[in-house]
Amino acid sequence: MTTNKNKFVGDYPKIGIRPVIDGREQGVREALEDQTMAMAISLKNFLESNLNYPDGEPVQCVIAEGTIGGVYEATKCKHLFRKENVGVTITATPSWCYGAEVMDIDPLNIKAVWGFNGTERPGAVYLAAALAGYTQMGLPAFSIYGEDVQEASDTSIPADVQEKLLKFAKAGVGAIWLRDKSYLSLGSTSMGIAGSCVDPKFFQKYLGMRTEYVDMTEIKRRIDRNIFDQAEFEKALTWTKQNCKEGKDVNPPDKQRSSKEKDELWAFVVKMTIIIKDLMNGNPQLKKLGFGEESLGHNALISGFQGQRHWTDHYPNGDFSEAILNSSFDWNGIRQPLLVATENDSLNGVSMAFGHVLTGKAQMFSDVRTYWSPNAVEKATGWKATGKAENGFIHLINSGSSCLDASGQQTDDKGNPVVKPYKEITPEEAQKCLDATTWPCAVDEYFRGGGYSSAFVTKGNMKMTMSRINLVDGLGPVLQIAEGYSIELPPEVHAKIDKRTNETWPTTWFVPKLTGKGAFKDVYSVMANWGANHGAISFDHIGAELITLASMLRIPVCMHNVDESKIFRPSAWNSFGTESSIQDMHACKNFGPLYGK
């Protein structure tokens, strides 16, 4: 069973298409009307057929009521788009137009201009003039222009134009999907981790998001006062007993709990999971039970659970809740993943959200724990690393926040392990992810209140992109990106080095793609240049899309291993020097965050 409902307040954000035209009547405009509108219709059909929202629903586009030849029609279009909840606009034309008169001047709209490459009318000339105007007015826009000349009657969209349109539209929809939603902080700062010092200005100015704060005692209050759906709890507990295999207890005998105590812990963590879900997105059933305020939730796209140590020294940890909510399935079937950051690391939560809005897939939260050099591996295990592991690898491991999808039990049409958008996952694949996961008892020295951590090993040769937002005093947010692959180690090698950290936690062995220079000259340098203890992992190579999204939000990318030919940013970036990363830093600082300095 696949289930999903739009959990968030408001209508779906839409892409607005602006067919602009040479306004001179008595010959010129009339000759262009059909071609210009046909271009807009082709664009609408293309985007709606090839692009989905993060929840899997097809993207919706709105075309202006008619072609736009001047200020009057541009203003009419602006008001239509406001009514239709448009946040991304693509201006399309095959001809010269009156640049400033037909511009989209809404500062909150994310903008692109597509100039048709044809010889009959100067679409490219308008494109250049429009982009100059947008840059001069401080409204960065993306340039879309085909390499090959087309016939005027050709309504097809060339492959190179399609690629740019999709990259722009996917990132643009991702950016506005964040808008008006919340980050829900459950608790406060975990163990002094900087990312869990939630910065409301960052969320407001760069992402257009609210920050909400709920003390962890709210979870205990709801458990004690039965503020949850009892029928759902019974269903969830039965499902958990059937599908979540309890792993071994590695605690010393005097720290191990009785079977009765373990059963009580299972019931507790299942209730925690339901309650965190209700806190994020509400639950109409609670209103029927007399809890109207609690039924509304916090319209949260992301949440973070502090846990350590104020909660976990006494109550069960959040590992089960985080892992199940981050996954694409639970007792209610296959559904859109929720995004929950362990240790309330809000910056890693945002990084997870970036991956999710671009792919619609579950995301993995991990400690960037250890760099294993070939020499260290051989010394510890006697195994000489080969293949993708020959230059060393990074151990990604965390006590439980990783989605179960990351086990690699879903497959593409060639049988390769992948992570899919939830609507493409079969019940059999969801079950395989559950079967590949065990739930060992929490290690007492970390979690005195008990609980259960997920344990699995990620399959090898899966495309991965690790990313991380960091806040830099005086500079603001910066984004790091590392594309690479998961690898598999020989079982005996895995066992030896995994136990050196914690065999009760989920493990991913990661090898970044190397470029031979800078932070990517070798695997050690990637680890050494990573800006925090955590990373968010999306199972695909989405570095280029992340760069485009970051430029829309005016977040510079300070580290990446994406081929320069794939980078797509607003045309205004070309005015800030010749080297890509320097352009990005200066342009983002100059234009400031999307929602105001």
Catalytic residues: 343, 367
Six-digit token pair at 249? Answer: 């207890």
Distance CA 84, CA 216 (A): 38
Give which of 136, 134, 100, 130 is closest to 116, Cα–Cα: 130
**Token output for 438:** 């065990």
Contact 379, 373 (CB under 8 A): no
Locus of tokens 């999709």 = 166
Query: DSSP secondary-structure letter at 203?
Result: I
| Whether residue 221 has a cis bond before it, omega within 30° of 0 | no
The b-or-e profile of 199-232 (16+ CB within 10 A means b, else e) is beebbebbbbbbbbebebebbbebbeeebbbeeb
- Give the span between the Cα atoms of 106 and 92, in whole angstroms: 17
Which residue shows structure tokens 């029928």? 231
Please say whether the beta carbons of 572 and 134 come within 8 A. yes
Amino acid letter, residue 566: K
Is the CB of residue 306 less than 8 Å from the CB of residue 186?
A: yes
Which residues is 185 bridged to in the sheet? 213, 304
Q: How many CA atoms lie within 13 A of 339 on its CB side?
A: 33
In residues, how long is the chain? 597
